[in-house]
Chain A
Amino acid sequence: MEKSRAEKEGKIWAIGGGKGGTGKTFVTSAMGTYLAGKGKRVVLIDVDIGGANLHSFLGIDRPKKSLTDFFETGASLNKLAVKTGVDNMFLITGDIHSLASDSIKFTQKLKLFRHIMKLNKHYVIIDLGDGSHNNTIDTFLMADKRIVILEPEITSVENMYHFIKNALFRKLRMSLREYGFKEIVEQMWEKRQEYKIKSLRELMDCIRDSFSYVGDIIDKELSDFKLYLILNKIRSSDDILIGSSMKSIFKKYLCVDTRFVGFVEYDDSVWRSVRERRPFMLNYSLSRSAKEVEVFTENLLKGKEIKLSRN
């Protein structure tokens, strides 16, 4: 009962977070392998614009067909999904050209998501790649579970704020538009000098003050905008605190709820695995980092936080 509900609610997982090299592709492949190992039917979708290389983490060749075929010739997703060498797990790859810049219209993205939802799979995990491009953000927003990967480095922290603020801004703008308040966000933003708005938070507060009737909408959007945070490549125990700190700042500054679901320590066997062309979770299944992947994936399934005795 509980399982079917969780699966219905959280079938599509998107992995993002802004900065490149934080381990989104690693997390996607490792999580997928673990879920598939539990007997779940999983499909991974690689929409990394800068460099789709999820296949490399699985030790297979780049699939010949890609999402371009879906967009251009209407090929079914099932046809695009290739076997990965891991039982129960399939891979659909994006394409550098078709997914670049604004070549895909919003309606096309909606269509893609409709088809993704219809896939006969338990979980669809989307590797978003770097950056805060609209295409990336939209995919992130459409997913059931929004997962961000943070590396304990200032550049990663910086890019993540940027990513989350962009996503939140876009979400607010879209939903206010849906409710018929078309230009509120834009107008307010244009008048930011006048209102002394310097940040997204101030913008939200200002909209709330000026248009009290949209306050409820903003509150609802904020409470729906839940994030799942994974800390990757930690090198010392102090690094764990960075996860808790990010969670706190997201809440206190942006009013966004975050669940800090887990962390993975820095592990050379990750790149070694790529070189050996074997999925990490199968190759190093007994390593500490593999266990850590299991922990956060379970937490994601249950929507729980990592249990830290010192919170």
Chain B
Amino acid sequence: MSRKHLKRYFEILELDSDASLPEIKNAYVRLNRLYSTDSMVMTPIADEFSKKKRQEVLRQIEEAYTKLNEELKDEHQRATSLGKPGIASENGAEGEEVESASFSGDVLKQIREKRGIHLYEVALDTKIRVEILENIEHEKFDALPQEVYLKGHVSNYARYLSLDPRKVADDYINRYKAWKAET
């Protein structure tokens, strides 16, 4: 479907016109929050950027989101059948590759980097501290929290990467146990 006639709405949500529905939703939530609250970036220009103008911006954001949602519903249905929103991978090949891998910290790192996701973003969404994520990736087992917590972190991280949380966590914890047995 051509998205040309929707260009304006994508612009309002500050997205490229090939954005996916989850991306549209993210942008909507983010912008909505930005213009409806007094965030740090807004305070210095609060008296210039009046409430009234912000209302107008909010209205446009709302309109853009509603419109895009209506128009792209079909695409959305196809997208959701493909996997988790947000980081739905561009091609299926990635999934196959992932299946065969064993989930060492390094593999997790590679998968993340391949998808162009920064550790900070993982931290933002999973609420796991960057340092911990980094230690997970580098398998600095001695710096990591106890097994039960670690397992939770790893499966959250795996879920974020659209991997099977249980499989990844089991695999990872086995490596952790092997290390522990050695020390």
**A residues touching B (Cβ–Cβ < 8 Å)?**
152, 154, 157-158, 161, 198-201, 234, 237-238, 240-242, 244-249, 251-253, 263, 265, 288, 306-311
B182 → chain A closest CB, angstroms:
27
Chain B residue, CB-CB nearest to A201: B48
* Cα of A23 to Cα of B177 in the assembled complex, Å: 44
Which 5 residue pairs are nearest across A and B when measured between Cβ atoms?
Answer: A199-B48, A237-B124, A158-B44, A237-B123, A307-B116
Binding site for A on B (CB under 8 A): 14-15, 23, 26-27, 30-31, 34-35, 39-45, 47-49, 53, 57, 86-87, 115-118, 120-121, 123-125, 130, 134
B118 A308 Cβ-Cβ under 8 A: yes
Contact pick for B130, options A237, A241, A308, A309, CB 8 Å:
A237
Collect the chain A residues with CB atoms within 8 Å of residue B117's CB: 307, 309
**Per a CB cutoff under 8 Å, which of B15, B31, B40 touches A242?**
B40
Q: Is the CB of B47 within 8 A of A198?
A: yes
In whole angstroms, how far apart are the Cα atoms of A241 and B42 in the complex?
Answer: 13
What is the number of contacts between chain A and chain B, taking CB atoms within 8 Å?
Answer: 80
Q: Measured between alpha carbons, how far is A307 from B14 in the docked complex, in Å?
A: 14
For B34, what are the chain A residues with a Cβ–Cβ distance below 8 Å? Answer: 245, 248-249
Do the beta carbons of A198 and B48 come within 8 Å of each other? yes
Q: In the complex, are the beta carbons of A249 and B86 less than 8 A apart? A: no
Residue of A nearest to B49 (CB): A253
Asked whether, in the complex, the Cβ of B124 is within 8 Å of the Cβ of A157, the reply is no
Partner among B31, B35, B115 whose Cβ is within 8 Å of the Cβ of A309:
B115
Complex formed: what's the CA distance from A249 to B117 in Å? 24
Are the C-beta atoms of B121 and A245 separated by less than 8 Å? no
Task: Tell me whether B39 and A245 are in contact (CB under 8 A).
Answer: yes
B41 contacts A309, CB within 8 Å?
A: no
> Can you name the residue of chain A whose Cβ is closest to the Cβ of B130?
A237
Residue of A nearest to B44 (CB): A158
In contact, B39 and A154 (Cβ under 8 angstroms): no
